[in-house]
Structures are given as structure tokens and as C-alpha cells.
Structure 1
Amino acid sequence: MEPAQGDKPVSHKLFGKAAERERRNINAKLSNPLAGLSHTELRSQGRAFAEFHDMGDESDTRAFELGAVLAQSPERHADITDLTNLEKEVLRRELTNKWAQPWKMYAVIALCSLSAAVQGMDETVVNGAQIFYKHQFGIGDHSPRSTWLVGLTNSAPYLCCAFISCWLTVPFNHWFGRRGTIFLTCCFSAVACLWQGFVSTWWAMFIARFMLGFGIGPKSATVPMYAAETVPPAIRGALVMQWQMWTAFGIMVGYASDLIFYNVDSTAIVGLNWRCMMASAMFPALVVCCFVFACPESPRWYMSQKQYYRAYQSICTLRHHKIQAARDLYYMHTLLEAESSMKLGQNKLLELISIPRNRRAMVASQIVMFMQQFCGVNVIAYYSAEIFLEAKFTPIAALSASLGWGVINWLFAIPAIYTIDTFGRRNLLLLTFPLMAMAMFFTGFSFWIPETSQTARQACIVLGTYLFGVFYSPGEGPVAFTYSAEAYPLYVRPHGMALATATTWFFNFVLGVIWPALKAAFTPQGAFSWYAGWCVVGWWLVLLFMPETKGKTLEELDQVFALPTRLHAGYGLRQIPYFAKRYLLRKDVQPEKLDGGQDRGLAQDVGFNA
């Protein structure tokens, strides 16, 4: 007897439910693979691991026995009776004095900070150099051809990042390791920056800057990953977060370099000033190349290459005591084993789309990555000197004002280390997007101030760009990469991050290439208003489609992203009257919880389908 026609959709729906539950079970297992095991089982497994991989003498074997127990619940170290007083004190200080680390750990922190600074400087030395080289290359007039060629040349690295270099992150890391990838990408950056200083045509500059993309793309994904895999859990979030802060520092140094080389005598060598600006970005890259191998390789990478003893040696240099090293290494081992045992039978890039929980995480991640560019920040980062020249600043004053913006962009990124884990990712964006929109409108409308009031006109334009930096730096700046790194389940996280990184660099390219033509067609007033409008759109997208991830475990995130999209959107819309009643009308109303009560039951009823 054949089934009724209506049975097929039901069967398909049940299959979808089963697949979704399977993925949720996988994510729960990855959340803590050691959950439910007794201390006796854990000690036995820890000893077997140490002996099988020949980790050292009896003291190392004991460390792995106890480390396996600690890996299950690190915060409950006081309950383990076999720990010595010294070991308990080390574990206690790990929580109370979390920034007291071995010097090798500080070397890793310095390396990651320098690598981020290289990134920022690579991006912004072109800001001042383009004032000069576009005229030397014959693309300095206001014709449509010249405006598009200026934009294409400036944004060439991000074209390479979006379509080629970001997708090399996985093979580069597999072949060369974390340190090797950082070394290789900084070599690319150093060579490309020097190359930029010797070109004599716009197309040669385009090629040199396109090659610079090989130094930007893989590094932007590898350095946060290297930081996350080496630092202790207590400071992991703060250190990974600092990628954005030190990138902002590099942006500021790039502006300073433009100002330093502005007055270089270009009589003997045509364009020596802008050539020095472009080439100056090679120096921090060379420092990283010389310094990178003084730091240990990622223990997790060693383990992925089946080099367990080298992984143990590496992590021992990054921890005060071998009991900490054994604990963290054994937990890495259990996660890798859990990941390798997952036989899902489908391409993981397809799983980003086909699995509803992953798809919602991807949509939220793509929103923040897209809006990191289309809020308009890199219009100011790459073209601030041109913008200020449009406002009748002198060239030296335009570069000085750009440096001021860079200082603000860096200083206001520092508080994000605190605010991102207290106010939350979503709340920061909902607060700062309207403020960024107003700053963009203010900047654009300031160009309508008559030139007879030149001082007021210039002051308002500078104030608008500075206010935008104040609102962007603790909000969309650090949130984008942080949110993308935690929204995806572990088993698809590398692929999700590759997509997120490629997205942000692609729209970075779009932003850079269209700005000169956009400004020529819309005037500065219309061009700035265009990005102000996108900030308004971004606010609505965040409100409707971006759940909060602050302080949630992997299992809790599965519950949040398992809720249907319409529930997220409805919850966001209900927050508007709640805010009005609570903060404007001063009524005593309680906030609604997205993952509780009625929403949770409804999610179960619909089987977690979109």
C-alpha cells in the first residue's frame, strides 16, 4: 500500500528533526567530551595517554593522571585530594592572578599584537600616499576612469583576500603551522610593501598591492587562532579580542608614518615621500619575521600533526606548572578525538546552509561582517586625507587630522576589552549603530556649511569623523570577529570563519573601490548619507536576526540558534516597546528571555526548523 501524498513532507520533516538532533548531540559532546566520566576512569585514561605517547618520566605521567581529572572541571581543583599544596596554589593563582604568566606567554601576546599592528599599517599607509602617487600615475583628475582606477588600486589587497588568500588559510596552516603561516604572510607583507615603493605606473601599483593581499588574508584568520590555542582559558577572550585593538594601533601608526614622510625631499627621486610612506609598512612585518620563531608553536597544531611530545614541550613553556600543561593538553586531545570521530557524511560548507542551527549562525555572522564594512569605517580609514582635502584642509593638516582619527580609533577600542563581556555583543551594536548613523549624517551635512565659514566647516567635518570613530571602536569594530568566532559549532567553525573573513575582505574591497566614484556622483553629502543609511539598516538586521552570545556555553548557544528565525525576529520587535516602557516611561517591566518559557516550547513543537 502506497503512502498518502501528505506523508512525504511529514517524513522529510521528521528526517530534518532527526538530523538536527544529531548535530545538537554532536555539539553537546564537543562542549565537554569528558562529562559523565568518574575520576577513576579519567585517571586511567590520562595515564594511558601519557604512556602511549611517551610523555616523560613518572612525574609527567602523574601530571596527566590528575590533568585528565582537572580537565573535566578545572574550577573544582580544591576537591581533588591527590594534588599537592603547591599545585593547588598554582591552580588557585591561575584564577586570582590571571595575567601572571610565564615570559613565553608574554612573548606570544607580543607576537599577536605586533602581527595585528602589521595588519593595520598595511591598510592605512596608502591614505597619505595616494595624495601624491595618483597625480604621478596620471589618475589624479576627476574623470570617471581616474576615480575608478584610484579605487581599484587602493582596494586591490582586499580583492585578493576575498577570492584567493583567505581560502589559503587552511592549507597554509596544515603545511606550515601557525608560526610558519604568520612568518610567511609577514614575508609577503614586507616584500609587497617594499615593492609598492618602487612602482612607476598605476597598474604596477595594483599588482604590488594585490600581492599584499597574500600577507593580509591568512594572517587575519591565523593570529586569533594561534592566540586562542596557546593562552590559558582565563585570559583567552581578552587576548583574542585584542586583535582588533592592536590593528587599530597599526592603523594609527600608518597615519603617523604618512605624516613623518610628508616633507621628505622628492627632488632627486620623484615621489620619494610617498614611496617612503608605502615602504615603511615593511618594518613591523620584518620585526615579526625575526621574532616569530622565538615563540612556541601552537600545541593544538602539533597534536593535529600527531606530534604529541612536542605539543607537551610547547605547552609546558606556556604554563607555570606541568599539571596545568597536562590538563590543557589532555583536554585538547579529547576535543580533537571527538571532532575526528564525527562522521557527518556531508561537506561542511554545505552544512553551514543545510543545517538550520548553522544557517542562523551564518546569517548572524554575515550580518556583522558585512556591516563592519558597510557602516563606512574604511571610507575614513583609507580616504580620510582625501576627505579633509575636499574640506579645504592643507595636505599637512589633512594628514594630521587623519592621525587624530587613528588615535581615537585605537584609544576607544581599549574599553571594548571590558564592555564586550559586560554589555554584550548585541547590545553594543544596538547602542552604537544609531550613533554611528548620526555621526555619518553630521559629517556629510557639514559639507553644506558655506566656505565663508571655513573654520566651522572644517571643525564640524573633523568632529563628525572623530565621533564616528568613538562609536565604532568599542562596538562594531571588536564585535564582528568575536561574534563570528563563537557563533558557529566547533565542527564547522574553521569553515565558518573562512567564510566570515572572506566576506569582510570582499566588502572591504567593494567599499574601497566605489568610494571615489560614489563621492563624485553623490557629492560628499550624499556619499556619507549612503553609509549612514546602511547603519540604520544594520540596526534593524541586528535587532531581528542576531541573538546574543555573551557568556553562553556551546550547548546554550545550540539552544539559542535552534529557535526559529521568526521567534528571533518577534523577540527583537518586542524589545522596542519594552525599552520604551522601561527607560522612557520608567515602568517596572521585566525583560523577556529569548530561550525560556513559551519560546522554548514552541521551538520544540516546530522541530527547530526555520
Structure 2
Amino acid sequence: MADRKVDTNGISSARPPQTLADFDPPKKPKRNKFAFACAILASLTSILLGYDIGVMSGAIIYIQDELKCSDVQIEILVGILNLYSLIGSFAAGRTSDWIGRRYTIVLAGAIFFVGALLMGFATNYAFLMFGRFVAGIGVGYALMIAPVYTAEISPASSRGFLTSFPEVFINSGILLGYVSNYAFSKLPKHLGWRFMLGVGAIPSVILGIGVLAMPESPRWLVMQGRLGDAKQVLDKTSDSKEEAQIRLADIKEAAGIPEHCTDDVVQVNKQSHGEGVWKELLLHPTPTVRHILIAGVGIHFFQQASGIDAVVLYSPKIFGKVGIKSNNDKLLATMAVGFVKTMFILVATFFLDRIGRRPLLLSSVAGMIFSLATLGVTLTIIDHSHEKLTWAVAICIAMVLAYVAFFSIGLGPITWVYSSEIFPLRLRAQGTSMGTAMNRVVSGVIAMTFISMYKAMTIGGAFFLFAGIAIVAWVFFYTMLPETQGRTLEDMEVLFGKFHKWRKANAMLKSKKTMETRGSDVKTNGQIQLGTQG
């Protein structure tokens, strides 16, 4: 006989018998294909920076030879793009609040397109520097907007996976740049480096076409009061209709819109458009905002200060120091660096939502410390030896590859994931732009001083310095950065504000979630028993 249940009017009705399947844990939702496609298209903007980094490492060999540049001029040429990108990253926060995340991506691609063409047609050092200036602004826009858009479009279950895509495409761009170096190195000297730089305009065209298929960020739509449009996007990018409703309610609350408001278009307060944000971030931050700002800017600082751009940009010079003399062999070895870096970032994307941010981040930095210290020791031995030490050369190459692998499996992607998800909605664009600005400043300083640095303190000493910075980074991450895996973007503020005491807040939040789950289970069991008795 079928079980019966009692409705609110006391009328019994037939109910299918309970089975073991009714008590099974819920299945993990399938990955949302629409959100996946949007994340890929948005993250294509990051390929612009990656390509520039990769291609410059090889192009400078031929630029220095043809234009007769000094080492200092080459350092400035390589690193100045990072400082120029500050203009773009600072402007991108306000621009994306004004015209939307989607059209900011289009703007980033258009500016880089012009910059790549200018560099490709450069006739002298000054012309080349102007091209770097224009391309740098485009890179700044791209670096800031890609992770913000991806974080805002992604469901919580796969946000880490999808938000790591910008770093995936940076690495893909670096590898493409290395391949471009090797491919065009066969051309005459005066054409080779111009093709290397000019080809960077092609991804911008692909990006401009791809953006036409992307929706606007639902959080930006809510900030404009366009609730109907936001609901449509959330329905497409959430794992279920229920999650879409929860996400919309959370975003409305963060934007100061009453939960009961169901109009398609509403008026929103001015703060949601960006006014007063800088005051709240810098002049009068709450303990929570201050903690978020320190964590968001700090992780960007340590990502670059631990020396990744020195290795990626100057790998041909590092390989030259260990005894590889042929330009062709240097470019081949550099391609191996790009290949390893790209492979390990792909591995990292599949673990971010399974293992969590903190375990990957801490193990990644620990591996970087070991690689940098070993690299410093072996480079010092090679520097003081008067003959070629094959074993030391092999260890150096292995440690360069190990360093980029450890970086790519943790610190590389997590920096962008973490900083894009921890800021509250009202502060997200400007807060993320501050983190991106710090990233570019430190990257520029490293890129513009590395040759001078290793000449002053030896190349082994430079890597000992990076190892010391990585140790400080590990301590900072361990004490200051809470785990954010599985949290909604609107839930982040609960984890911050306690600084190094965040574990207590995290434990309380877990306890609250457990109590809510148990309460839900009790209610469900009661309904089942009531139905059985009926």
C-alpha cells in the first residue's frame, strides 16, 4: 500500500513509498556550459598580456642588435608596459561601472590592437616605446576586467575553476609568444621582431568578435537597476533555478535593493554606481574592508615580488648564464618553460574547487621557495667555476622548470581568483583594480631592474632574494588569508575583519551552516514521518 501524506488542510493523498535514493546526498551539479563559454571569451583578454611577455623575451635579442640599445634601455622597454598598464587598470574600475564589464572587454582589445600594430611598424626606439604605451593601457584594462567579469558570471560551485581562466590564458599567451619568437627568428633580422610584435593584434580581433556572444555581468545589471535582465543572465549561468533566485536575492541585498522588489527596472542609490567607493576603500575602511584590501593587494604584491617575471622575461639570458650560447637553443629552452607553465596551470584549474585555495597556495609557495633556493645555489656554483659543469646546468634548467610549475599550480591562478572574489559588490571593480595596479607596479620594477640587479649582486644572489621574499609570502598567506572555496561572493565579508584571527569566524560560520543543515534534516524527517503515519 502506498504511503499517504497529510496536506495543510488535513486531507490525505497518495504518496509514493520512500526509497534509499531519497536519502542519498545530492549529486554534484554538472558544470554550467553557458557560464563556461562566457568565462573563456572574457578570459581571452588575458592572452594579450601573456603574448607580450612571451614575445618580448625573444624579440629583445634582435631589437637590441638592430637598434643598438643598451641593457638599461632593454630593461626599460621590457618593463615599462607594466607601468603603462596602471593607467588602464585604474581607469578600468570606473569604466566598467560606467559602460559595463562587457564593453570594457571590447575597449581593452581595441586599445591593444592599435598598440600591437604600432610596435610592429616601429622604426626606432622612441616609436617602439610609444607602441608599448598604447599596448600597456590595453593590457591594464584586460587584466582588471577579465577576472571581475568571470567571477560575477560564475556559479559558486565552479567559480574557482572558471576564475582561474585568465591565468590560463596568460600562460597560453606566453607560450604563443615563445612559439612566435622561434617561428619568426628565421626571417631577416629587421623583419623578424616586427612580425613577432605585430602578430599580437590578431587575438584582439578574435576577442572583439567573441564578445558579441557574451551577456552582461548580472551584478552590473543589478547595479543599474535592470533586475529583469539580471534574472535572465542568472537563469542561464546558475546550476539551478533555485540557485539563480538565491544569487539574485544576495546581489539585490548587496546593492541595497529591497528583497521583495520584483520590478524589472528599479532606481538604485548612487553608491552602487561607484561614488564614494574610494573613500570607503582608503580613507574610512571598516576592519572587514581593511582586511580584504590587505589580502587582495598583498597577494598581488607577493605574486610578482617572488620573481616570476624575471624568469619568464629573461629566461634566454638565464640560460645564457648557465652556458647555452646559441640563440636558437635559448629560444627552444624558453619554449620548454612556456610549455611546462601552461600544462601546470591547466592542472591547477581542476583542483581549485576540489582542494581549496589555501592548500594549493601554501604548497605552491613552498615549492617555489625550494626551487629558487636551489637555483640560487647552482647558479652561484656555475658563476664561480671556470669550466662547464654539466650536472649544474641540468639542475638549473630543472629548477627553472620546477619554479614555473609550482607557480602555475597555485600562486599564479589563485592570485586572480582570490582577489576577484573577496571584495564586496560595491567595492569590487575599484578594489580589484588596486590589486591589479600593485601587480603591474611590482612586475614593472622587477622587469626594469633584473639585469642591473644580477650584475650588482650576482645572478645567484638575485634568486636568493626572490627565495627570501617567497618565505615572507608563505607566512603572510598562512596567517592572513581565509579559505573562500564554496562561498558565495556576498558571503565573503563574514570571513574577513579578524585579520589573523579569521579562523574563529570561519568556525562559527561552519557551525551555523551545520545547524541550518541539521534543522533542515529534522524538518524533512518530520515530514516523512508525518506522511508515513498518515
Shared fold (TM-score, shorter chain, > 0.5):
yes
In 1, the alpha carbon distance for the partners of 2:280 and 2:29 equals 41
- Aligned match of 1:157: 81
How much does 1:463 deviate? 0.8
- Aligned match of 2:371: 439
How much does 1:271 deviate? 1.8
- Provide the secondary structure at the position in 1 that maps to 2:121: coil
- Provide the secondary structure at the position in 1 that maps to 2:329: helix
The answer to whether residue 290 in structure 2 is matched with residue 359 in structure 1 is yes
Aligned ranges 1:33-48 → 2 under 5 Å? none
- Aligned match of 2:349: 417
What are the ranges of 5 or more consecutive residues in structure 1 without an aligned counterpart?
1-93, 140-145, 569-591, 601-610
For residues 576-595 of structure 1, the C-alpha deviation after alignment (integer angstroms, 9 at most, x for no partner) is: xxxxxxxxxxxxxxxx8675
Q: What TM-score do you get using the length of structure 2 for normalisation?
A: 0.79
- Aligned match of 2:208: 289
- Aligned match of 1:238: 161
How much does 1:300 deviate? 3.8
In 2, the alpha carbon distance for the partners of 1:188 and 1:355 equals 36
Aligned ranges 1:431-470 → 2 under 5 Å? 431-447=363-379, 448-449=381-382, 450=385, 452-470=387-405
- Provide the secondary structure at the position in 2 that maps to 1:297: coil
Aligned length: 469
Aligned residue type for 1:442: T
Aligned ranges 1:204-603 → 2 under 5 Å? 204-264=127-187, 266=188, 270-307=189-226, 310-311=229-230, 332-338=251-257, 340=268, 347-353=276-282, 354-393=285-324, 394-447=326-379, 448-449=381-382, 450=385, 452-552=387-487, 557-563=492-498, 565=500, 567=501, 595=506
Q: What TM-score do you get using the length of structure 1 for normalisation?
A: 0.69
In 2, the alpha carbon distance for the partners of 1:115 and 1:477 equals 17
Aligned residue type for 1:381: V
In 2, the alpha carbon distance for the partners of 1:219 and 1:555 equals 24
In 2, the alpha carbon distance for the partners of 1:503 and 1:563 equals 23
In 2, the alpha carbon distance for the partners of 1:546 and 1:559 equals 13
The answer to whether residue 61 in structure 2 is matched with residue 131 in structure 1 is yes
How has the CA–CA distance of structure 1 residues 377 and 433 changed in structure 2, closer, same or farther, with 3 Å as cutoff?
A: same
**Match for residue 169 of structure 1 among 92, 108, 121:** 92
Query: Could you tell me whether the CA contact under 8 Å between 1:152 and 1:206 is conserved in 2?
Result: no
How much does 1:346 deviate? 9.5
- Provide the secondary structure at the position in 2 that maps to 1:481: helix
- Aligned match of 1:121: 51
Q: Please say which of residues 330-339 and 396-405 is displaced more in the overlay.
A: 330-339
In 2, the alpha carbon distance for the partners of 1:128 and 1:375 equals 22
In 1, the alpha carbon distance for the partners of 2:313 and 2:183 equals 17
In 2, the alpha carbon distance for the partners of 1:532 and 1:173 equals 37
Aligned residue type for 2:363: L
What are the ranges of 5 or more consecutive residues in structure 2 without an aligned counterpart?
1-25, 259-267, 512-534
- Aligned match of 1:54: none
How much does 1:313 deviate? 5.9
Query: Could you tell me whether the CA contact under 8 Å between 1:95 and 1:234 is conserved in 2?
Result: no
How much does 1:276 deviate? 1.1
How much does 1:213 deviate? 1.3
Query: Could you tell me whether the CA contact under 8 Å between 2:94 and 2:429 is conserved in 1?
Result: no
Query: Could you tell me whether the CA contact under 8 Å between 2:31 and 2:239 is conserved in 1?
Result: no
- Provide the secondary structure at the position in 2 that maps to 1:415: helix
How has the CA–CA distance of structure 1 residues 225 and 277 changed in structure 2, closer, same or farther, with 3 Å as cutoff?
A: same
Identity level (%)? 27
- Provide the secondary structure at the position in 1 that maps to 2:117: helix
How much does 1:100 deviate? 5.3
How much does 1:453 deviate? 3.0
How has the CA–CA distance of structure 1 residues 170 and 258 changed in structure 2, closer, same or farther, with 3 Å as cutoff?
A: same
How has the CA–CA distance of structure 1 residues 150 and 316 changed in structure 2, closer, same or farther, with 3 Å as cutoff?
A: same
In 2, the alpha carbon distance for the partners of 1:322 and 1:367 equals 37
